[in-house]
Amino acid sequence: SMGTHHVGVFYDGIQLGNAQNGQIDLGKFSLENIEEISLYNGQKSNIFQPGKDFGSSATIYLRTRIPSFDNNKQYNLRGSVKTGSFDLVNPSFLYEYKINDNISASVNGEYISSSGKYKYRYKRVFPNTNEVMYDTTAVRENGDIASLRFEGGLFGTIPKGYWRIKGYFYDSERGIPGAVVNNKWKNSQRQWDTSYFVQGIFQKSIAPKYDLLVNAKYADDGMRYLNPDTTLMLIDNTFKQKELYISTANRYRISKKWDSVISADAQYNTLTSDVAGFVYPKRLTSLIAVASAADLGKVKMQGSILATLVHEQINSGNTAADDSVSIAPNKKELTPAFFVSYKPFNKHNLNIRAFYKQIFRMPTFNDLYYTDIGNIHLKPEFTHQYNLGFQYDSDYSHPFIKNWHIQADAYYNEVTDKIVAVPKGSGQYRWMMMNLGYVEIRGIDMSTSVLTEPVKDLLLNIKLMYTYQKAQDFTQRKSDILQSTTGGGQIPYIPWHSGSVIASIDYKNWQFNYSFIYVGERYHSSANIAAEYEQPWYTNDMTIVRKIKYKGANLRLSAEINNIFSQNYEVVLNYPMPQRNYKLALTVEI
């Protein structure tokens, strides 16, 4: 509920960036090549990391497959094809080659084509009487996509270390279906994206107590947006952003149970566009992190402090704050974090944990400089996180129950100087970005899982998750009426209650997966009134997998059904989601 701007997304150890709007499009990356996804609240327990890893309230790490070869194999080859609802065509391939005992290479690619068309029911009722205003069915239009992705990498090992180089390319054209409002069932906006990056990682133990980690990256992202609707305004703009990043992390082992790390990062971002009056912003961000971690037996502690220095620069053009060529002021911030865990029993795997972290997110280039709405006087948006929780794991030799896991966390977060869009002047058609928001978040996250073997060779894994979250908007409004309706209200689209049930059954070469996701009632504004109410939604999904060995090849057949009971629901108001849909996949690996 703190917002996606406070979540850092890392791909093979290096953060993905978007200085223009701060949003990371995960659709550009494929699960076909992902080996592990890790989520952290606060930051990783391993302090040997770049400064960027300390700079987010939460982090997601996507780790792609690293080549490994069995039985003296020289190569691995995998091909996959998927099809299903929405006219989906999705072939992909992976090729891995062992150059020698220390170096291997990998290349993979994927193509996706889909019309994005699906039927949906659109129903609206009067808030107070529940009388039907209208109820109809339609087909979602302009949701098509055609995308192409290629990745290649070199992987090497050296004495007491390793190195990796990765190249990535993505190109797509897609429609933007838009909201269904005022009997407008089809939109015509289009978007083209072309992105590529090259990155490398080098890690080596230089001395018995000293380790070095070096990361570097160059990224180039282009985007064209077209809105041909001349009844409003013809918009055809292109944007081009570039990023250059380098980092060094140095770990020194003070003792066997006490490590210290100093990391230094530098990142340079630029943005160009054909928008009239554009200011061509540039930003140099320097990060210095000092961290220490100690293992005292039953108690483990980790502390860090991150210094952030931001230097802004523009070339020409006008900002939205006034008619002169102005630049946002430079920023200097110092943010701490402290983590502690306690294991009270030697024979039981129970851990009690707590942390405090202060961090911020910089205003994006759009927030500062976008024509007519940008505001160069914006301050960083800060978060303060307080967390207390526990985790318990137990393995059993019992023939029925193999493992039980449970964890729970209670937390309190504050978001200060929240960056929001507010009306500019007396009208409602001109907006400006402002530091107005203040949000308090109180919540509980709980999950438990159990692994059983009810009969021989049949493994049953069940996981339950539940979240309660009270995220209140305490932003001060100038209007007394607006203040009375929004003050203390639940912030938009954040439910009080949400949860999921995930179950999997493995029996020899068969696998069955089932998931149930529930999102409770919420509102689409901080005014928690009947007119803003959003109903709960839930989906049931199922997958059946069959693995086959045939003439030295491994085949994997899967059938997937999403939204089994064809529920009509909207995650965001006026954006209807698909009813029941299907996917079939065949994967061959040799």
In terms of phi and psi (left: phi > 0; alpha: psi -120 to 50; beta: otherwise), the region of 277 is: left
Tell me the whole-structure pTM to 2 decimals. Answer: 0.92
Cα 7 from Cα 266, distance rounded (Å): 20
Q: Helix, strand, coil: what percent of the chain each, to 5?
A: 5, 65, 30
For range 421-440, the mean pLDDT: 71
Instruction: Name residues whose C-beta falls within 8 Å of residue 101's C-beta, 6 or more positions apart in sequence.
Output: none
CA Rg value for the chain: 26
Question: Could you tell me which residue, 323 or 253, shows the higher pLDDT?
Answer: 253
Q: What is the full DSSP assignment across 259-312?
A: EEEEEEEEEEEEEEE-STT----EEEEEEEEEEEEEE-SSEEEEEEEEEEEEEE
Question: Which tens digit of pLDDT belongs to each residue from 541-565?
Answer: 999 999 999 988 999 999 999 999 9
546 domain-assigned: yes
- The predicted pLDDT at position 61 comes to 96
Q: What are residue 411's DSSP bridge partners?
A: 387, 443
CA 281 to chain centre: 25
Angle 187-570-133 from CA coordinates, rounded to 5°? 80
Q: How many C-beta neighbours within 10 Å does residue 347 have? A: 5
Q: Is the pLDDT of residue 196 over 90?
A: yes
74 domain-assigned: no
Cα 496 from Cα 533, distance rounded (Å): 13
Q: What is the mean pLDDT of the chain?
A: 92
Instruction: Name residues whose C-beta falls within 8 Å of residue 304's C-beta, 6 or more positions apart in sequence.
Output: 43, 47, 54, 289, 290, 291, 292, 336, 337, 338
Model confidence band, residue 459 (pLDDT cutoffs 50, 70, 90)? very high
- The predicted pLDDT at position 426 comes to 44
- The predicted pLDDT at position 317 comes to 53
Instruction: Name residues whose C-beta falls within 8 Å of residue 142's C-beta, 6 or more positions apart in sequence.
Output: 116, 175, 176, 177, 178, 186, 187, 188, 189
Model confidence band, residue 156 (pLDDT cutoffs 50, 70, 90)? very high
Q: Is the pLDDT of residue 28 over 50?
A: yes
Indicate the pairing of strand 581-589 with strand 75-84.
antiparallel
Question: Which tens digit of pLDDT belongs to each residue from 365-411?
Answer: 999 988 778 889 999 999 999 999 999 999 988 878 999 999 999 99
Furthest-apart CA atoms within the chain: distance in Å: 76
Q: Is the pLDDT of residue 517 over 50?
A: yes
329 domain-assigned: no
- The predicted pLDDT at position 526 comes to 87
Question: Which tens digit of pLDDT belongs to each residue from 472-493?
Answer: 999 888 788 888 888 889 998 9
483 domain-assigned: yes
For range 221-239, the mean pLDDT: 90
71 domain-assigned: no
Model confidence band, residue 430 (pLDDT cutoffs 50, 70, 90)? low
Q: Is the pLDDT of residue 428 over 50?
A: no
User: Token digits for 391?
Assistant: 């985790």
Highest mean pLDDT (candidates 126-135, 260-269, 327-336, 470-479): 260-269
476 domain-assigned: yes
**CB-CB contact of 503 with 461 (8 Å):** yes
* Residue that is written with structure tokens 């639940």 in the block: 490
Q: Is the pLDDT of residue 141 over 80?
A: yes
DSSP-derived letter for residue 128 is T
Q: Is the pLDDT of residue 264 over 60?
A: yes
User: Token digits for 239?
Assistant: 């944007």
Model confidence band, residue 103 (pLDDT cutoffs 50, 70, 90)? very high
| CATH for 542 | 2.40.170.20
Question: Which tens digit of pLDDT belongs to each residue from 321-333?
Answer: 444 557 889 999 9
Indicate the pairing of strand 88-98 with strand 103-114.
antiparallel
Q: How many CA atoms lie within 13 A of 326 on its CB side?
A: 17
Question: Which tens digit of pLDDT belongs to each residue from 78-96?
Answer: 999 999 999 999 999 999 9
Least confident of 152-166, 277-291, 450-464, 472-486: 472-486
What is the domain range of residue 451? 388-412+443-590
Share of the chain above pLDDT 90, in %: 75
- The predicted pLDDT at position 325 comes to 57
User: Token digits for 526?
Assistant: 């901080």
- The predicted pLDDT at position 413 comes to 96
CA 375 to chain centre: 26
77 domain-assigned: no
**CB-CB contact of 176 with 193 (8 Å):** no
- The predicted pLDDT at position 436 comes to 78
For range 270-277, the mean pLDDT: 90
Among 362, 274, 285, 366, residue whose Cα is nearest residue 319 = 366
For range 148-168, the mean pLDDT: 97
Query: How many domains are contained in the chain?
Result: 1
Question: Which tens digit of pLDDT belongs to each residue from 316-371?
Answer: 654 444 445 578 899 999 999 999 999 999 989 999 999 999 999 999 999 998 87
273 domain-assigned: no
Model confidence band, residue 423 (pLDDT cutoffs 50, 70, 90)? low
Least confident of 23-32, 371-380, 534-543: 371-380
Q: Is the pLDDT of residue 414 over 50?
A: yes
